[in-house]
Homo-oligomer: A and B are copies of this chain.
Amino acid sequence: MSLYTAPPSTRERIVLVTARLIQRQGYVGTSIKQIAKEAQATLGSVYHFFPGGKETVAVAAIKHGAKEFALLLEDALRREDDPAAAIEACAADLAVGLRESGWTDGCPVTAAALETLGTDSDIQRACADALRAWEHIVAEKLLASGFTAEDAAEVATTVISTLEGAEVTAQVSRSEEPLRAAGRQLARLLRTYRA
């Protein structure tokens, strides 16, 4: 990685802005015109890069957000040897990021998923893929720490669900505490599996 990162391309700006807007206002609440304006692009550019229209832009943004959280997760899990401590650190990272954004920049996957529930759309698929990928990352760490395959899968699912829910709770109550509490309780839970 170079010291001087290239300025983001128009396409990248569109994706980044869309991800942020979905975090804050949801999928339905975000218009293509607003995306174009905030990305300093024009309507023509947006439809040039995403001929599939609004849904295509959203899918790209959700995949971007999914990868972003996956990196945060992998980072925390690599820094700490103990998975319990790693998950607690991860929750703390989320809490700090949330506070710094004024409690607005949550998880674009959750937001978009809830608005497109019965739809069988690409958005739903992208959200389901993201959740599965995150669970897989956690499960791998647990397996490496001596968990059985069944325990790892069930605990990983619960870890992701709890982090998701605690993030929403933290946003609504505008406090780090729900995420901090979830981190501590998840750590306690993981430690009950020690040999």
With both chains docked as a complex, state the minimum distance between the C-beta of A90 and any C-beta of chain B, in angstroms. Answer: 14
Contacts A26-B28, A124-B172, A189-B188 hold; do A104 and B117 have CB atoms under 8 A apart?
A: yes
B24–A118 contact, CB under 8 A? Answer: yes
Count of residues in A whose CB is under 8 Å from the partner chain: 47
Chain A interface, >50% SS class: helix
List residues of chain B with CB within 8 A of the CB of A12.
Answer: none
A173 at interface, CB cutoff 8 A? yes
B169–A131 contact, CB under 8 A? Answer: yes
A192 at interface, CB cutoff 8 A? yes
Nearest residue (CB) in B for A154 is: B181
A140 at interface, CB cutoff 8 A? no
Please report which residues of chain A, range 175-191, place their CB below 8 angstroms from some CB of chain B when the two chains form the complex: 177-178, 181-182, 184-186, 188-189
A155 at interface, CB cutoff 8 A? yes
Give 13 new A-B contacts, CB below 8 A, not counting A29-B115, A158-B181, A165-B168: A24-B118, A25-B117, A26-B28, A28-B29, A28-B115, A103-B118, A114-B171, A128-B173, A160-B169, A162-B182, A165-B166, A189-B189, A192-B192
Residues of A within 8 A of B (CB): 24-26, 28-29, 102-104, 106, 110-111, 113-115, 117-118, 124, 127-128, 131-132, 154-155, 157-158, 160-166, 168-169, 171-173, 177-178, 181-182, 184-186, 188-189, 192
